């Protein structure tokens, strides 16, 4: 059986129109305070055993030695990278690496943190969409979005803050 071009079944979600896509892309760029129109997500950095040794002269010279800097390692999940753009009443959108977008169902709500607070708006998260598994290990067809970075929250760009504060 051939691999699905849409392994996480997002094909059923409606794509946004070209006009709306351009507007939403501009919103992402504005929220992230970027100057170009490329995918706004960060790129993961792979490292090897040599990066954990004092002999990694290149990293030491550039000031990015893992021995001298805090870093996070994350569990490798088997999902697909998406950013999640939440635009309040305009809806929420899954943003893929090609900077294409799919509209999430209007039944999905993103309430504010406190009772009575307005819903989340102008927010861009970075993460991965994974298919959940039942406790017995069998696939359950339930999708979960695992956010690992808050790039912009309620209009405030967070990327200048350390990851621990986002």
Indicate if 102 belongs to the active site: no
Q: Do residues 157 and 108 lie in contact, with contact meaning Cβ atoms separated by under 8 Å? A: no
| Residue tagged 């950095």 (tokens) | 45
| Residue tagged 């805090």 (tokens) | 70
**The 156-157 sheet, strands edge to edge:** 101-103, 92-95, 79-86, 123-133, 139-153, 156-157
CA-to-CA distance for 42 and 97, rounded, in angstroms? 10
- Confidence (pLDDT) at 2: 40
- Confidence (pLDDT) at 3: 43
- Confidence (pLDDT) at 16: 92
- Confidence (pLDDT) at 87: 95
Nearest residue to 99 (alpha-carbon basis) of 40, 147, 152, 145 = 40
Please work out, in degrees rounded to the nearest 5, the angle formed at the alpha carbon of residue 74 by the alpha carbons of 146 and 135.
55
Catalytic residue among 76, 102, 114, 138: 76
Give the strand pairing for 123-133 and 101-103: unpaired
- Confidence (pLDDT) at 104: 93
Token pair belonging to 147:
């956010």
Domain boundaries, the chain: 10-44+78-165
Question: Is the CATH number 3.40.50.1220 carried by domain 10-44+78-165?
Answer: no
SS3 assignment, position 107 = coil
Give, as one character, the DSSP assignment of residue 120: P
Region of residue 52 (phi > 0: left; psi between -120 and 50: alpha; otherwise: beta): alpha
What is the residue-level pLDDT of the chain in tens, covering all 166 positions?
344 455 555 778 888 999 999 999 999 999 998 887 788 887 766 667 766 666 666 666 665 566 666 666 677 777 888 999 999 989 999 999 899 999 999 888 888 888 888 889 999 999 999 887 777 766 666 788 889 899 999 999 998 887 777 7
């Amino acid at each position: 059986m051939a691999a699905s071009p849409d392994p996480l079944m997002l094909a059923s979600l409606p794509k946004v129109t070209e006009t709306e896509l351009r507007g939403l892309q501009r919103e992402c760029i504005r929220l992230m305070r970027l100057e170009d129109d490329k995918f706004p997500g960060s790129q993961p950095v792979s490292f090897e055993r040599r990066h954990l040794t004092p002999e990694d002269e290149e990293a030491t010279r550039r000031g990015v030695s893992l021995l001298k800097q805090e870093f996070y390692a994350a569990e490798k999940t088997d999902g697909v990278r998406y950013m999640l753009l939440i635009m309040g009443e305009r809806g929420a959108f899954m943003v893929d690496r090609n900077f294409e977008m799919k509209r999430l169902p209007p039944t999905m709500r993103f309430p504010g943190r406190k009772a009575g607070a307005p819903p989340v708006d102008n927010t861009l998260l970075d993460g991965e969409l994974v298919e959940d598994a039942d406790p017995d290990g069998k696939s359950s067809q339930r999708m979960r979005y695992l956010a690992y970075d808050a790039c912009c929250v309620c209009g405030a760009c967070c990327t200048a803050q350390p990851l621990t504060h986002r």
